[in-house]
Amino acid sequence: MAMATASLYYTASLPKKSLLKQSPLHFPGACVVRSAFSSLKITTSSSSSSSPPTVVVAATSAVEAEPQTAAAAPAKVLPFRVGHGFDLHRLEPGYPLIIGGINIPHDRGCEAHSDGDVLLHCVVDAILGALGLPDIGQIFPDTDPKWKGAASSVFMKEAVRLMHEAGYELGNLDATLILQRPKVSPHKEAIRSNLCKLLGADPSVVNLKAKTHEKVDSLGENRSIAAHTVVLLMRK
């Protein structure tokens, strides 16, 4: 049985054009469709095996409608938006280790389609998440040869562009790197400085922490590297 989670819903395979126009986060091209969907809850109906499944889209924020109940109220243009990013890469010999756009000397690096910059990838995902957009893998798919070996600064620039286009600026960012080796401290300021440059942000709002994984699991055994990031975006 189809389930609607709000009092306003419609049945469709694509969002109506008017929905896109009224979406508070309006991006060009494919992102328009994705941003509209990202604000919707989708459930499928399987009540009949003889008919194709019906997609019921329950509007929670992107549809502008007469506010009859709290659940059907149109989306608010929020003064703040929070986003979280996480990324992990396998470490293999024969690859450079690039963190935050800085080449760090090590006996191994990240095996990835792009340059495998775990920190920039998770910062990008945090910004995209705050904007209610799809994740980095959907916007820059690793099946696209265009991104093979790409510097992750390209993804950062696009995320920052989307942030400004949506009318937001960085409030602050807090990132945590997790790796057993090498020590990050000698490179921390270079990484943070490059992050500030890519974000166009003051150093006082960009924080970087690093920790080991206590020699346990792949992270602690120098077989992988991970990062978490939280961002706060502020309406300009």
CB of 228 vs Zn ion, minimal distance in Å: 13
Please list, in sequence order, all residues whose beta carbon lies within 8 angstroms of the beta carbon of residue 168, skipping any fewer than 6 positions away: 81, 130, 131, 233, 234, 235, 236
Structure tokens at 222: 């120098």
- Report if residue 125 touches Zn ion, rule: CB under 5 A: no
Binding of Zn ion by 228 (CB under 5 A) = no
81 belongs to the binding site for Zn ion (CB under 5 A): no
HSE (side-chain half, CA atoms, 13 Å) at 106: 26
Q: Which stretch binds Zn ion (CB under 5 A): 10-18, 39-47, 86-94, 170-178?
A: 86-94
Name 168's bridge partners: 235
Instruction: Work out how close the CB of 114 gets to Zn ion at its nearest, in angstroms, rounded to a whole number.
Output: 7
Closest approach, Cβ 213 to Zn ion, in A, equals: 17
115 near Zn ion, judged by CB under 5 A: no
Position among 23, 27, 56, 87 found at the interface with Zn ion (CB under 5 A) = 87
Site string for Zn ion, 147-186 (x = CB under 5 A): ----------------------------------------
| Nearest to Zn ion of 25, 228 (CB atom) | 228
Distance CA 140, CA 129 (A): 15
Dist CA 82 CA 235 (whole Å): 12
CA-closest candidate to residue 115, choices 141, 143, 153: 153
> Which residue ranges make up the site for Zn ion (CB under 5 A)?
87, 121
